[in-house]
Structure 1
Amino acid sequence: MRPVLAVGLGEILWDVLPSGRMLGGAPANFAYHVNALGGAGVPVSRVGDDDLGREALSLLVRKGLNIDAVSVDPDHATGTVDARVDESGVATYVFPDDVAWDFLVPDEIGLALAARADAVCFGTLAQRSPVSRETIRHFLARAQHALKVYDINLRQDFYTPEIIAGSLDLADVLKINDDELRTVSSLFGLPSDERGALRALMERHSLRLAVLTRGGAGSLILSPDGESDLPGLGTSSLGAHAERGA
């Protein structure tokens, strides 16, 4: 039996932290964690033809990821984000424009992956560019048999109600955090309570599952006929970097 083939579709970038650089991007992290759990996680993204791009590819290979679907852009730099953490531990992110993952284009390797994928995780950030947005939607249209997970991942002002609504229409599963849910609820006039807002999104967009993360306060998972509401388990030295696995 072959392992589950799960694609992380979108940005690969370097988080520039006070402590140094860390490779990330939610889709790349998704692919990494699928691999770590025994599946076949594959990133589909774009890096620049520069030192940071070569370093990113080398690190992905060392982590055991297949990089055949990560293309190299000769004209645009590898993506970075300046991550700033305040005294309360809350991070803010500053993303330069016109980087390699803004120019993700379809290729034969990526489209072949789409046809075979069991799951695809995509977000909002990589859709800030019309080029990458069109590629992501083309990929999802080809991934006819895949479970499509929309990790909404709102950053700065790189989203519109139209992009969010269109992405929800393409998704089977929504993953959203509590801050993002408040933003989406305001944009779309959703009920003020978590369950009400998530149920409204599920009904409007025919979602099979909605996953809400609340940081240290735990998580809420809703399906059409049930739910799981779990408290947080506290943090550990590893947990602080759980979303930065790649």
Structure 2
Amino acid sequence: MKEQIVAGIGEILWDVFGADEQLGGAPVNFCYHANSLGCRAVAISTVADDRRGQSALDVLAKQGMSTEHITVVRQGVTGYVVAEIDDDGVASYRFPDNVAWDHLTLKPATMALAETVDAVCFGSLCQRSVHSRNVILSFLGGVRPETLKVFDVNLRQHFYSREILQNSLCLANVVKLNSDELLILGDMENIRGTDTYKLTRLVARYDLQLAVLTRGAHGSLLVSPSELSAHPGVAADTADTIGAGDAFTAATVIGLLQGNSLEEINEHANKVAAAVCSGKGAMVALPPDLKVKGG
């Protein structure tokens, strides 16, 4: 089987929990889990020339991830976010402005990489900066027509707009969102009704291959133009939920690339997300039996 190459482009940041700091950022988490599951995954982001920036590169290398497409800039500071965990293990975040990923830069080799990836995941947060938004759009413009373009909606604070969300949906052929994000997007798109109806309308309106809704402990819903799969979720002894959605996205993308049915994809992705919830932080080691066969 041909080696599958996926990329995540956007923010890299440190989740700061008091005195504890853990590396994260949705695109990087996505790549970590795609790599763990059996793909060649490439994180594309920017850090600053500071302590956190060097530590980020060190952590990625220690996790067996390539840092070839992580650039270093002098302006700003390496991204970080102040995170708080509630009694259910759910995280909330406060993001500072003008950090390194707001100045996203790509090497020529990274633009060349665009022509080789089988899938690329991008979100809305890194697009808060006009500069970084244009860089992401440039990379997306360089991928092959058959490349999966996955829009992980990932709404944070006020860092999104109708224009960003609609343009991203137009560029994507897969969208992933959670229940809160579906409410916001449904209102923005003037779509009322059940979750299934909202996803069905989004798929039709934006000519999507797949819409993915994660519902936390209540499982997930996958909707394509011709198929639907609802899953009740997998029980987990939850430490926290950080990175679970990104792991779900990674498992879904790999399943799509392998041509699996929605039922197969949904079952596997829920098991992967539950495994991540059982550990602390986003970069949890996955059980070997969850690795994709032939990956």
- Do both proteins adopt the same fold according to a TM-score greater than 0.5, normalized to the shorter chain? yes
Q: Is the 8 A contact 1:119 1:147 kept in 2?
A: yes
2:82 is matched with: 82
Identity among equivalent positions (%) equals 44
Mapped pair 1:31 → 2:31: yes
Aligned partner letter, 1:218: G
Mapping of residues 95-114 of structure 1, within 5 Å:
95-114=95-114
1:172 is matched with: 173
Q: Is the 8 A contact 1:83 1:94 kept in 2?
A: yes
Q: Is the 8 A contact 1:105 1:131 kept in 2?
A: no
Aligned partner letter, 1:41: A
Distance 1:26 1:199, change over 3 A: same
What is the CA deviation profile of residues 147-191 of structure 1, one whole-angstrom value per residue up to 9, with x for unaligned ones?
111111000000001100000000010111011101111112112
Select the structure that is richer in strand. Answer: 1
CA distance in 1, matches of 2:50, 2:19: 22
CA distance in 1, matches of 2:191, 2:236: 31
In the superposition, the TM-score normalised over structure 2's length comes to 0.80
What is the CA deviation profile of residues 94-125 of structure 1, one whole-angstrom value per residue up to 9, with x for unaligned ones?
11101000111232021011111110000000
In the superposition, the TM-score normalised over structure 1's length comes to 0.96
Q: Is the 8 A contact 1:216 1:234 kept in 2?
A: yes
Q: Which runs of 5+ in 1 are unaligned?
A: none
Q: Is the 8 A contact 2:41 2:65 kept in 1?
A: yes
Mapped pair 1:245 → 2:283: yes
Task: Report the 3-state secondary structure (helix = DSSP H, G, I; strand = E; otherwise coil) of the residue aligned with 2:114.
Answer: helix
Give the superposition deviation at 1:192.
Answer: 2.6
TM-align CA RMSD: 1.5
Q: Is the 8 A contact 1:7 1:44 kept in 2?
A: yes
Q: Is the 8 A contact 1:29 1:243 kept in 2?
A: no
1:228 is matched with: 229
Q: Which runs of 5+ in 2 are unaligned?
A: 240-274, 285-295
Work out the number of aligned pairs and report it: 246
Task: Report the 3-state secondary structure (helix = DSSP H, G, I; strand = E; otherwise coil) of the residue aligned with 2:75.
Answer: coil
CA distance in 2, matches of 1:90, 1:37: 24
CA distance in 2, matches of 1:19, 1:201: 42
Give the superposition deviation at 1:89.
Answer: 3.6
